[in-house]
Structure 1
Amino acid sequence: MSLRIVVCVKYVPDAAGDREFAEDLTVDREAADGLLSELDEYAVEQALQISEESDDAEVTVVTVGPEDARDAVRKALSMGADKAVHVEDEDIHGSDVAGTSLVLAKAIEKTGFDLVVCGMASTDGTMGVLPAMLAERLGVPQATLLSEVSVADGKVTGRRDGEAATEHLEAALPALVSVTDQSGEARYPSFKGIMAAKKKPVEELELDDLDLEAEQVGLEGASTAVVEANERPARTAGTVVKDEGEGGKQLAEFLAGQKLL
């Protein structure tokens, strides 16, 4: 039986560009260029490596987002994934992590899976809690923040490196894992892969296809909300300390005045 690997990916605003809020205090994604979250590229890479080590495996990438989010799945397909699922619905706009995990869970259940692979966090929200919430909704064990992962004999195993210790984890399939940016560099899509991605299937789903109601997701269903947002103040000129024999003293006085000493 084929090993069904599902990778969750996200289309995020380019962190190198300026980001703004829309009138409803959600991120204005049309005002900034977007791309596949860099941390999700590691998840795609690990899924592809597991697939290549298996006699029979299939990698499906799943994303939730507006029309432009298709660019994220196309990048993953050009890296080598076999097919994709794109959930797009106007009522999803403004979903928090709880709503997003609900939509992803329904889409993954519909697709079918043995192993779900996520990045450690998204580069826009950087919450890092979605993998755990998703595993709970799917009712499967989770092994998160892995720097090494492999699948054999119906089990997924991995290594989690902490500041004080290294843990070796194991879970029976079906299961969910998240991988860190220490798991291995993501491959660069080849020209052949880019051309092949144009012919790979991308299934489009809406909330109705997932038996979800609008009030369960989006701004209406969110359990968190942004109540106020202000632009970061412009950088002001700093204080220059010229060392003419008293530099150390002046620096100490400055730091003390800022209550940093």
Structure 2
Amino acid sequence: MAVITHERCQGAAGPEFGTEAAFLQAGAASITLSAVEKSFSGNRVLRGINLFIPAGQFVAVIGKSGCGKSTLLRILMGLDQPTAGELRFENTAGNEPNARIVFQEPRLLPWLNVAENVAVGLGDKVETRLALAEAAVVLCEVQLAEKAQEWPSRLSGGQRQRVALARALVSRPGVLALDEPLGALDALTRISMQELLNRVWRELGFTAVLVTHDVSEAVHLADRVIVLDEGRIALDLAIPFAHPRRHGNAELAELEAKLLSAILGR
């Protein structure tokens, strides 16, 4: 069993982010959707989505319930297939991008401890010793080194979600999809998780696509916010402010108001 030391945590942060699993990194990928459609029993959920996301960009997708946000994310992750249109990933390495998803529920395995749950993110082709060593590094990054041997049932909601994030990050993804991963957290824990997510994205440089109902969260985290309305892109808004961003910024609040108007159809 790998033991996480304070010294290792001190050296684990930053863009290097692990060593043994580096071969899995395929590089941040650009995403292109061309005329993507999705229908369920004749109901058109997505209606001709055309979207280009440059490699390394953080994009948030917002909109009313039932507008197609989660369906779009599932198509991006290959969990659903489009009814029509094309989806394409491209990265500088020319490899198939390593894509991972974090859901609203942590979905941890209760019979595995925290480190073992994170190591699951590397699959069964990586030797257990190396997988646990990589889990140790990423647990340092999400500030849970001291919880490596704990059972998931003993963690708070925010801690469980950090473990889920670590499990997605351990393989150094080129694309990370996030399906309302902070929606069930209390306000203060949510802000802390936003800051953590923003930091690891800046350090690792993956392409991020976040689905959220929280307009403030979208503006705080994303380079760009997409508003979906009845399966179509109603607004594609750039957020032209450097990271990290301060909560309560008046200029960000103006952008939030613009996005809310688009969502509510004002």
Q: Normalising to structure 1: TM-score of the pair?
A: 0.29
Structure with the bigger RCO (C-alpha within 8 Å, sep 6+) is 2
Q: Normalising to structure 2: TM-score of the pair?
A: 0.28
